[in-house]
Amino acid sequence: MKFIALGRNSLTPLQKCTAEICVLAYGSAADTIDEYLRLGETTTRLCVEYFVEGIIYLFGDEYLRRPTPADLQRLLDFGEYRGFPGMIGSIDCMHWKWKNCPTAWKWQYSRGSGKPTIVLEAVASFDLWIWHAFFGPPGTLNDINVLDRSPVFDDIINGQVPNVTFFVNGREYHMAYYLTDGKYPKWTTFIQSIPLPQELEAVLFAKKQEAARKDVERAFGVLQARFSIVKNPALFWDKVKIGNIMRACIILHNMIVEDERDGYTQYDLAGFNEREDTGTSHVDLNFSSHMPTHITEMMEARNDIRDRQMHQQLKDDLVQNIWHKYGSSQDNN
């Protein structure tokens, strides 16, 4: 036990950790827990900084990891079960207000007459696990500008992802994709809904796509509900410290998801487990990373990601796949 200059016992680790959890979970100001836990404002802020740095150091590699081949296979199997073979999650952006943004940076982080914000780009799966988190772009950027800065496809360009094979409407594909809203570009790796659908096939596809795309919105909502510090305006001055808080909250969120994963899904997993072995989506579990040896290989991978013709072909096949899978129940309705 440590002692302070007055000879009294120092603060215990339990006091400090309780204070940090209160700050993260309830979004409390640093001085609101002074009388309850006997921590001053300065001490609480310092403990928050050390706490989130420790969380990132100890658990970041495990709970902020990119999907492993086994993870990819599970995501692909469930995507196929929902009618979207090759889908591994949904992507979107969230803005976190920055109350104490330095005056010199205010207009860099403010859009129009709004408050300064910092953007989080995230990819989430059906169980609300956040697989990709890119935090830090100023709030003046839209989703496309953030995407241009994002490392979300760096692993594909650098040859560090396993080979993926899946079939849609009898056609073979090798590029997994995310579900997005209409703001994202028409790339092979993005599948949007159909605005103002007219035909029954298009109406059904739009309904299923928009329902599945809400996974990332639900993940944002659950993250903010669990950690009010992310929901309330950020009170720190230092952007690096704010980024550490966001990453630590995502790590803790993923820990909870791992512990309570079975309670998040709205689907009957018993039927999914029975079909898991009969799916057409496969991941090369024995892959080894292949770093491009020439700039041409990197440009080819980049062009494959941005192939608009392949995007339209995949989307048309997905429309037909959804109709074959759910169209009969639609006719009965």
Tell the residue number behind the tokens 């608009």, with chain if given.
Answer: 308
* Rounded percentage of the chain residues whose pLDDT exceeds 90: 57
The helix or strand, by DSSP H or E, that contains position 90, with its residue range, turns out to be strand 87-97
The amino acid sitting at 173 is Y
Question: Tokens representing 316?
Answer: 């048309």
The arithmetic mean of pLDDT across residues 179-189, rounded, is 94
- Residue 26 pLDDT level (bands cut at 50, 70, 90): confident
By percentage, how much of the chain surpasses pLDDT 70? 86
- Average pLDDT in the 276-286 region? 72
Given a cut of 80, whether residue 2 has pLDDT beyond it is no
User: What integer pLDDT is reported at residue 39 of this predicted model?
Assistant: 73
**DSSP of 101-166:** --GGGHHHH--TTS--EEEEEEEE-TT--EEEEEEEEETT--HHHHHHH--TTHHHHTT-S--EEE
- Residue 241 in 3-state DSSP? helix
Residue 13 is predicted with a pLDDT of 77
Mean pLDDT in the chain? 86
Across 300-325, average pLDDT: 93
Q: How many CB atoms lie within 10 A of CB 15?
A: 17
pLDDT at 278 over 90: no
| pLDDT band (50, 70, 90) for residue 158 | confident
